[in-house]
């Protein structure tokens, strides 16, 4: 019986191994290429995030200096161009993945679900990074506009937000600087106003170039909201099943201990204290038994019964 059980277990292990091999072979090359693209895209998104942090630092340097160094502005322009280049690459890669997933939408397989979830996660990360970049750009624009407004006030030009926006949109700061008095303070203020205005013009050009990208990826993530919700729901269900299985396991252990105790009590209680003499075959020496019992008054085969039944040590008398 025991040997047969081991044979069945060995057969089951062989079947499981065969199934694992079959699953591993299916679409291995395609999924390897997919995960390679996923890793490359993830690294590009991380690079964008690093560049965004670098741009924030340069924004702060430019805002803190009355007349920022040209090198700082050049560094910012170079970093902005790199962010735009990498972001376009990531956007195109995500759109390509989306088209590939849509073509295989009719199928229902594990690898398709993996591709969907990975694509959704990367799209969400990309949107988060680009949203932070956009927020940093808008903050830089507002603070630059505030500096321009303060410099105009120094020169005696009080402007409202609407008038300042009109100047920025026109691209011509001379609308408000033409009547500034010819003094050293006024010249310095005029120089800063013109410099801040150029910074804002370049910034707005960058924001407009990235606008289409924001719209495309934001719409993509919006459409994937249901996919992400389903992934989260499946994870919650899996956790619930694990918690339930753990509770059931604890209960089973308690029931097992109680069953062992009950079985031993029933076996001892069932047999009489003074049975006939034991059969003439070698038995173990007297053991430590409850009061009133000894090996002669407690047959050896009765002692073996609970041991064999509970699956403990094997006996040479049991085949």
The answer to whether 189 touches 195, Cβ cutoff 8 Å, is no
Give the mean pLDDT of 191-204: 80
- pLDDT for 39 equals 94
Q: Quick one: which H or E segment has residue 153? A: helix 110-154
Give the mean pLDDT of 295-314: 44
How far apart CA 308 and CA 287 sit, in angstroms, is 18
In order of start, what are the domains of the chain with their CATH numbers?
A: 13-223 (1.20.58.70)
Q: Exposure pattern of 77-112 as b/e (b: 16+ CB <10 Å)?
A: eebbeebbebbeebbebbeebbeeeeeeeeeeeebe
How far apart CA 79 and CA 61 sit, in angstroms, is 14
Assign 3-class secondary structure to 18-84. Answer: HHHHHHHHCCHHHHHHHHHHHHHHHHHHHHHHHHHHHHHHHHHHHHHCCCCCHHHHHHHHHHHHHHH
Bigger pLDDT: 39 vs 190: 39
- pLDDT for 152 equals 78
For the chain, what is the radius of gyration of the CA atoms?
39
Bigger pLDDT: 34 vs 194: 34
How far apart CA 126 and CA 161 sit, in angstroms, is 33
Model confidence pLDDT, tens digit, residues 216-251: 777 767 766 544 454 444 444 444 544 555 565 556
- pLDDT for 192 equals 77
pLDDT of 316 higher than 90: no
pLDDT of 100 higher than 80: yes
The answer to whether 284 touches 300, Cβ cutoff 8 Å, is yes
pLDDT of 172 higher than 50: yes
Give the mean pLDDT of 98-118: 80
């Amino acid at each position: 019986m025991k040997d047969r059980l081991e044979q069945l277990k060995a057969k089951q292990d062989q079947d499981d191994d065969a199934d694992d091999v079959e699953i591993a072979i299916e679409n291995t090359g395609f999924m390897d290429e997919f995960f390679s693209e996923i890793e490359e895209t993830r690294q590009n998104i991380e690079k964008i995030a690093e560049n965004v942090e670098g741009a924030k630092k340069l924004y702060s340097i430019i805002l803190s200096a009355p007349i920022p160094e040209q090198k700082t502005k050049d560094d910012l322009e170079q970093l902005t161009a790199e962010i735009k280049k990498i972001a376009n690459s990531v956007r195109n890669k995500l759109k390509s993945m989306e088209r590939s997933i849509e073509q295989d939408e009719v199928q229902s397989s594990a690898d398709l679900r993996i591709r969907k979830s990975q694509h959704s996660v990367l799209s969400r990360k990309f949107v988060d990074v680009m949203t932070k970049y956009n927020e940093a750009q808008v903050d830089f624009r507002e603070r630059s506009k505030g500096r321009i407004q303060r410099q105009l006030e120094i020169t005696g030009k009080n402007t409202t937000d609407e008038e300042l926006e009109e100047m920025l949109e026109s691209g011509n700061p001379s609308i408000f600087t033409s009547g500034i008095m010819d003094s050293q303070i006024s010249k310095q203020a005029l120089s800063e106003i013109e410099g801040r205005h150029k910074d804002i013009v370049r910034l707005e050009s960058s924001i407009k170039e990235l606008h289409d990208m924001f719209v495309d990826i934001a719409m993509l993530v919006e459409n994937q909201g249901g996919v992400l919700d389903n992934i989260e729901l499946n994870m919650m269900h899996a956790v619930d099943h694990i918690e339930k299985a753990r509770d059931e396991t604890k209960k089973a252990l308690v029931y097992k201990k109680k069953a062992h105790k009950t079985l031993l009590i029933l076996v001892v209680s069932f047999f009489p204290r003074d049975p006939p003499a034991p059969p003439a075959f070698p038995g173990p020496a007297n053991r430590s038994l409850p009061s009133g019992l000894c090996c002669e008054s407690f047959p050896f085969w009765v002692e073996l019964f609970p041991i064999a039944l509970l699956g403990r040590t094997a006996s040479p008398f049991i085949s």
